[in-house]
Structure 1
């Protein structure tokens, strides 16, 4: 029987003399199959004292990392998985600062140091940004495995040169070391390592029964030595090293593509039921999990694109997105306790019809039916936007309605992830032409307003059976050409829709993205309530609403002017 990796973990933290603890740390020691496929993860973050919200940054960084890392594709290497997750977290923290009152002073925003240790098979993978440190204890001596990203100006003045949330782009250090039984790794913040030496840490580990007690002893000694900062330390001892795994070799980290899936075939613990659709980009089949009897959807990459690295990268991102976006209006990924032997995605089976089919079956829906569907789609899109993601391919075929009338967004092949997706690779990943926002045709990157545009097109189409602009919109590839585009009003002589609904759609479908709604909630609200701007713009003049009051008011004003002039003459 293969030998599995086994470790012991201990930790301690204290706010010290500070009012609050801006450090945060965590660890995950999973069971199989995650223990073999993803390994054991530890992470530590340290906020900066100049910020009142950096403790929130620290908690978000560590919690997000430990959750999202285990959602990444099994076919990714540890290095690829961690770097994508941490860059995504960095982009989120940077956006939080940018959209907050702290945006004018960077050092008061959502910033924290970050260090992570991932042990998989017989290798330790180290990731680092900032001045939190990772050590390895060897023969009673501490070996520092990370470099401090801090510039010292004087004894009193120093500052971080690298950390999460400082810049939109993140550079993170990486190194790997082979594991040996008995190795002990230490993660510590500066409130610890600046006030206690390696021998004291080594003695604390050797002289106490558990690593938790050893960590507590180190913190207490650092406090006694005058530590004036938050104090945090994590200890990990390797009790057993796993057997060598071939997938630790970098060039063999990619899982092989699956064979052609046909009905009644058994595949990786699933029985294939039937094809759902086959395209040039992917093959999708309906299957049953033989262990749980759950009906699922399996998506496999196109064999024609097996050598296209960019395509495979996008394909593998889909599962990570599905696991990260936890919302009832977004199709969810299905996890299995079995080891995966091929590259494929498994998602929930939504028993129902696409919105495209629903529109065919319901060519003249009521306004309330449209609102009900659009509001659910908006909730799903909001879950993407909260994660700094843009769906980019919202269209009726990518929206499902199940037998309970719950609406769900599917297909994340074009989704943009801030900090992770390479903008240069987005050129051909902008959705379907009739639903794509005009800025895409100018070669610009999408924003959440681009998803709002697509949702508004769908709303317009459901209410009218038409599109808001002519097919020439895709040929308008200059600002001047787009300015000449004319919005076709939803309202005609036979329309019973309120005028203010058309006003809401007109705003959501502005060619210039800066003139559109900035938030989905604004658009959804205005579909149910007349916007105050619309009411004031379309308010009937007083002379038409009440001519008597109008002329009485004019008479009073004229009389007041005459009286004022008479007084002036006297």
Structure 2
């Protein structure tokens, strides 16, 4: 059997089936300044990015309204589908819209009045898995017809100054800072979405459009044309544009179908040194646990060497485990960084379930720390900076690693860092795709995991930052922070009761400002840590004056709880001494 591409998510490819139609005409105006566009990709992109419908109404008062609307629709449909598949719909669309808005605004500044340049309304509908995502600015609209009721699901951004005149308060190209409404809704089969410009909905009104949509012709393009013609006959003097997108079928929620796709490839047989699998010779077993095995292998034809990761037979009937294993290579193949191990394409079709990565002659950071207790601060910071760059590569793909620990970090003979193991990664774009499987949660080692995993708080990028701060502290002191008590914390109170021990008290060579950066990175509340891992790495290399000032402030300001504990202890001792003196008197 030919193996499916490991860089695909075939098991998540459901049957999202849509019917669409659109129509746009100048109407009584000399030219059409509206723009419309629909794209329903095939295969994997429909699963990871969804289907998109966009309507834009170039502002008539703007000299380049027509160019603005057409550019917005065309560029969005191209650029949105070019964003990483691991990104969420919201991040993908917002990144594209921010860049598009800045381009329109910069072009518009060439006009004498900057508000009369490249300005357009913009309304986009993205249908992905079982969710509808809406992005909106201006007075074009998106409606949803469900169970015979038509509901407007966007808000108009316009200010009416008279019965016949209104001004847009938001639009693409209107201001360098874009304010775009976003919301997501669950969808069900039969949902019908209508996108329209004001030349239609202002004239027909909700009730008449609802009546017309309840008796749609089978061809949705003809239905759109009927709406436009009705608005024209009712006296519309504006451009006439609308789109219809109907949900005919949602991705199947049949767990048997998903499991069947996941198990198309059998688990590998027991592998030993010298065995050959798909033209790959097993050189040695590098690692084995109850969840997986890792082998050093060599292509018998080319001599190229790889690492092969295979699933454990303990989970041969566990669909959640198999899905997570399949997703490891998918996520890893989308991270492109010299500080992250590279997922490799197999030289031949696979006969069973495994994936390959580049082979890196190296040792783990855990072993390196045993061989280099309390290394030179500059050397430790050099390695930490590389780890931070590797983590940032995950975050740029809207992916959390969630298992940053010394055993998952390699150091080659040149001092190059490589982050490995994608088994605990969380990709925002994949989490949006509905699946009947109760997804496996395989998170990291508690000694290095952020508190939010234990206290059931939704993790963000600061969770990986916390893990990096734990590793950094350990590298500089040969001890875990908080006296190694993190793995025993089970509640928020447990974490709050831990006490930070200054790293420079353990290793006097650690500068106070580096300890300040470590302390900040290890704070219990994620929002009190650094903004991202590179900010943390920067503070390890550049003294932050605030940390030096911190040490000079009175204890009552630096640590009020500790200060009051000291005061209470002194008062207790004073009272005890007074009582003893009275008794002996």
2:276 match: 266
Residues 257, 301 of structure 1: 8 Å contact kept: yes
> Aligned runs of 1:512-527 on 2, under 5 Å?
512-527=525-540
From 82, 87, 93, the counterpart of 1:63: 82
Q: For residues 158 and 39 of structure 1, what CA distance do their matches in structure 2 show? A: 26
Residues 69-114 of structure 1 show CA distances to partners (whole Å, capped at 9, x for unaligned) of xxxxxxxxxxxxxxxx6xx5325348869999x9xxxxx9997334
Q: Does 1:297 pair with 2:307? A: yes
Task: Give the Å deviation of 1:532.
Answer: 3.6
Deviation at 1:18, TM superposition (A): 7.7
Structure 1 position 130, deviation (Å): 7.5
- Aligned counterpart in structure 1 of residue 397 of structure 2, from 387, 395, 411: 387
Stretches of structure 1 lacking an aligned partner (at least 5 in a row): 3-13, 69-84, 103-107, 117-125, 132-147, 175-187, 203-225, 232-247, 542-570
Equivalent residue number for residue 486 of structure 2: 473
Q: 1:368 to 1:471 in 2, by over 3 A?
A: closer
1:110-155 deviation per Cα after TM superposition (whole angstroms, max 9, x unaligned): 9733469xxxxxxxxx999589xxxxxxxxxxxxxxxx97349xxx
CA contact (8 A) 1:395 1:458 kept: yes
What secondary structure does 2:88 align onto? helix
Q: Map 1:177-326; keep pairs closer than 5 Å.
A: 252-253=260-261, 254=263, 255-326=265-336
Tell me: CA distance 1:170–1:57, structure 2 relative to 1, closer, same or farther (3 Å).
farther
SS of residue in 1 equivalent to 2:407: helix
* 3-state SS of 1:274 partner: strand
2:504 aligned counterpart, secondary structure:
coil
Q: Give SS of 1:285's match.
A: strand
1:112 aligns with 2:124: yes
Mark the CA change 1:480 to 1:277 in structure 2 (over 3 Å): closer, same or farther.
closer
SS in 2 for 1:300: strand
Separation in 1, partners of 2:121, 2:82: 18
**Given the alignment of the two structures, is residue 90 of structure 1 paired with residue 97 of structure 2, yes or no?**
no
Closer, same or farther: CA 114–200 of 1 in aligned 2, 3 Å: closer
Question: 1:492 Cα deviation (Å)?
Answer: 2.1
- What are the superposed Cα offsets for residues 276-303 of structure 1, whole Å, 9 maximum, x if unpaired? 1111000111112345432111111100
RMSD: 5.3
Q: 1:486 deviation in Å?
A: 0.5
How many residue pairs are counted as aligned between the two chains? 420
1:18-167 equivalent positions in 2, closer than 5 A: 23=37, 45-47=52-54, 49=56, 58-64=77-83, 68=85, 89-90=88-89, 92-93=91-92, 112-114=124-126, 150-151=144-145, 158-159=152-153, 166-167=182-183
Gap runs ≥5 in structure 2: 3-23, 59-67, 102-119, 135-141, 156-179, 201-216, 223-237, 244-255, 555-585
Following the alignment from structure 2 to structure 1, what is the Cα–Cα distance between the partners of residues 301 and 37?
42
> Which aligned pairs between 1:546-565 and structure 2 lie closer than 5 A?
none
Q: Secondary structure at the match of 1:263?
A: coil
Contact 1:96–1:110 under 8 Å retained in 2:
no
SS at match of 1:527: helix
| Residues 1:372 and 2:382 aligned together | yes
Equivalent residues in 2 for 1:399-410, closer than 5 Å: 399-410=409-420
Q: Matched residues in 2 for 1:41 and 1:537: separation?
A: 47
Q: Within 1, Cα distance between the matches of 2:57 and 2:501?
A: 53
1:521 CA drift (Å): 2.0
Give yes or no for contact 1:314–1:413 (8 Å, CA) kept in 2: yes
